[in-house]
Amino acid sequence: MLLISSKPGHEQVESDLRRNLDGRGRLLQSFAMTAGRRGFLVDGVDDRLDRLAALPSVAAARLVTAPYSLVKREERPAGSTVAFGPSQIGGRDFVLLAGPCGVESRGQLDEVADAALRAGAVGLRGGAFKPRTSPYLFQGLGLEGLRLLAEVRERTGLPVVTEVMTPEDVDLVAEHADMLQIGSRNVQNFRLLEAVGSIDRPVLLKRGMMSTLDEYLAAAEYIYMRGNEKVVLCERGIRGFEPRLRNTLDLAGVALLKRLTHLPVLVDPSHGTGLSELVPDLARAALAVGADGVLIEVHPRPEVALSDGRQSLTPAALEELARSLAPLARALGRDLARLPGRQAEASV
């Protein structure tokens, strides 16, 4: 099967293609891509790859196979990196992203952002649109939450990642955030994957709580094939049978993902365990297992958080965790990523 992307402005690519298929092959799908391009999936003419690639309206063509091709490690053996604000995710440096589960108020967000800065985090997480199991639980501040995140980014320089729950909100969230998160419940919300696949903004795709690794990578491919190559994966725990733990954090899955795909892989030990006292140990294990960073939930007063307080670190606990990560990273031949101009503080 062929994946062909047209050059932007070349509207006639479809007719060009059809003419060159002369009755063989079948155009299965066409779809919007980033940068004004369009993509075309064609079946049955794999042997014409070169000829079709040479069409003037065609930007690129290549063979693809189910369940996924473009995100495979073999495509980029050295691994790919994704820029998030001034930092790179996926390179030598291990990134610490921190923030509250849900944005609750400017005060809460400021307090957490300052703690994140002190700890040496390079990004701020926080939910404005909160997917909640029950319709009767706090659903996030919505647009107001997005605005607060953008304001705090202005103040602190911390780039922001926040969740988008439905295709029609993609533009709105992309206006306010530096990276769009797809939550674990939406890992196979294919229309949403397609929507974030055709914009030019990093995407943090969380693993579903029952995703096999192949299903997960196929979900990433939905985004990647549309031209948005800025995809970051995140293991956040799979569903298991242990009543004492919210999820089962699959660190072997992380080690295997790093071998199967070139995409960066983060770990979320907060959702991964559901217990704040386990978060530091698991964050260190994530670093040791080869992850590219961690996503840590922090709340000034976890006991009154509107969501997920049980798994949130206090600001002080976050700083303590960060202090323990630096020597560990060095022992592994890596370093902690730092925001420019903030090298010194937390690593003392």
Q: How many whole angstroms separate alpha carbon 227 and alpha carbon 197?
A: 6
Cβ 274 vs Cβ 282: under 8 Å: no
**Least Cβ distance, residue 244 to its own copies (angstroms):** 6
**Least Cβ distance, residue 303 to its own copies (angstroms):** 19
**Between 95 and 134, how does the x/- string for binding to its own copies read (CB under 8 A)?**
------------------------------------xxxx
Size of the site for its own copies (CB under 8 A): 80
User: Which residue number, 32 or 83, has a Cβ lying nearer to its own copies?
Assistant: 32
Q: How many whole angstroms separate alpha carbon 192 and alpha carbon 179?
A: 15
**Between 167 and 206, how does the x/- string for binding to its own copies read (CB under 8 A)?**
xx----------------xx-xxxxx--------------
User: Which residue number, 153 or 258, has a Cβ lying nearer to its own copies?
Assistant: 258
Residues in contact with 287: Cβ distance below 8 Å, sequence separation at least 6, in sequence order: 94, 294, 325, 328, 329, 332, 334
**Least Cβ distance, residue 110 to its own copies (angstroms):** 23
Chain positions 273 to 302 lying near its own copies, rule: CB under 8 A, are 273, 275, 277-278, 281-282, 284-290
Is residue 84 close enough to count as binding its own copies by CB under 8 A?
no
**Among residues 154, 259, 303, 341, the one that binds its own copies under rule CB under 8 A:** 259
CB atoms within 10 A of CB 239: 12
What letters, b where the CB count within 10 A reaches 16 and e where it falls short, cover 136-148? eeebbbeeebbeb
Is residue 328 close enough to count as binding its own copies by CB under 8 A?
yes
Instruction: Kindly tell me the burial class for residue 26, based on how many C-beta atoms sit within 10 Å of its own C-beta (0-12, 13-18, 19 or more).
Output: exposed
Strand pairing report for 2-6 and 38-43: antiparallel
Residues in contact with 104: Cβ distance below 8 Å, sequence separation at least 6, in sequence order: 141, 305, 306
Residues in contact with 83: Cβ distance below 8 Å, sequence separation at least 6, in sequence order: 89, 202, 230
User: Which residue number, 8 or 327, has a Cβ lying nearer to its own copies?
Assistant: 327
Element spanning 296, H or E: strand 293-297
- The C-alpha angle with vertex 181 and arms to 169 and 242, in degrees rounded to 5, equals 125
Chain positions 219 to 238 lying near its own copies, rule: CB under 8 A, are 219, 221-222, 225, 238
**Among residues 64, 143, 150, 172, the one that binds its own copies under rule CB under 8 A:** 64
Is residue 61 close enough to count as binding its own copies by CB under 8 A?
no
Is residue 307 close enough to count as binding its own copies by CB under 8 A?
no
DSSP classification of residue 336: E
**Among residues 9, 47, 74, 241, the one that binds its own copies under rule CB under 8 A:** 241
Per CB under 8 A, the segment of 4-12, 107-115, 210-218, 308-316 that binds its own copies is: 210-218
Per CB under 8 A, the segment of 49-57, 106-114, 245-253, 339-347 that binds its own copies is: 245-253
The total number of residues shown for the chain amounts to: 348
Cβ 231 vs Cβ 253: under 8 Å: no
**Least Cβ distance, residue 24 to its own copies (angstroms):** 18
